[in-house]
Amino acid sequence: MDEDLPILERIQGGDEYGLKALMQRHREAVFHFTLRYCGNEADAAELTSETFFRVYKYAHRYQPRAKVRTWIFAIAANLSRDHLRRHKKRCKDISLQTALSDAAPRRLEEEIPGGERTPAERTDLRERMRAVQAVIQTLPHKLRFPLVFCVLEDNSHEECAAVLGISAKAVETRIYRARKILQKNLKDF
């Protein structure tokens, strides 16, 4: 059962506290997704706010074909894609070095096993991460979204499929294609 459905029903009835409850549950995840997708904290904050504004404004249009969370991420994905199109920019200040989780943020470098690193190893790792960031930003939406949503944000293929309106196998294929592009463009690393 979708735990968010009763909250959305409250929003449909005009209850602003329902929106606050929904935001408390999903704001951080939406922010992290938009940050990784667009690459800029200010844009991510704006897109997160706009996402929840639209959730409130269009709550009456929600059809329970998918979970409320999936619907929220579909809104965030569309806003992020449109934002990049409108601004025709590929932000370069996204940080894949930050492992975003419910716990305190940690650097991705800390997540990679290997003990203590020398300054040269840390510098090399940062260079590799910047190269990965740059290639991810060049991916088309249909490949970037599944890669960011499933691989970097650790969501299921099924949830991604529901957001995009495609099969889970198609999501798997798109992630595979995105990884192949990453592999090809990062062969020197």
How many CA within 13 A on the CB side of residue 138? Answer: 12
pLDDT at 183 over 50: yes
pLDDT on residue 126: 79
Tell which phi-psi region holds residue 151, choosing left (phi > 0), alpha (psi between -120 and 50) or beta: alpha
Domain boundaries of the chain, sorted by first residue? 1-94, 96-189
Q: Which residue has the higher pLDDT, 107 or 38?
A: 38
Strands 98-99 and 106-107, how do they pair? antiparallel
Per-residue pLDDT tens for 77-128? 999 989 988 876 444 444 454 444 444 444 444 444 555 677 887 787 778 7
Per-residue pLDDT, 98: 46
Predicted local distance difference test score (pLDDT) of residue 133? 78
53-79 mean pLDDT: 91
User: Each residue of 43-52: pLDDT tens digit?
Assistant: 999 999 999 9
pLDDT at 139 over 60: yes
**Predicted pLDDT at 109:** 47
User: Whole-model pTM?
Assistant: 0.70
Top CATH class of 1-94 equals mainly alpha
Strand partners, 151: none
| Numbers of helices and strands, H then E, in the chain | 9, 2
Q: Which amino acid is at 6?
A: P
Q: How far apart are CA 186 and CA 178, in angstroms?
A: 12
Checking if the pLDDT of 142 tops 60, the result is yes
Work out the average pLDDT over 27-53: 91
CATH of domain 96-189: 1.10.10.10
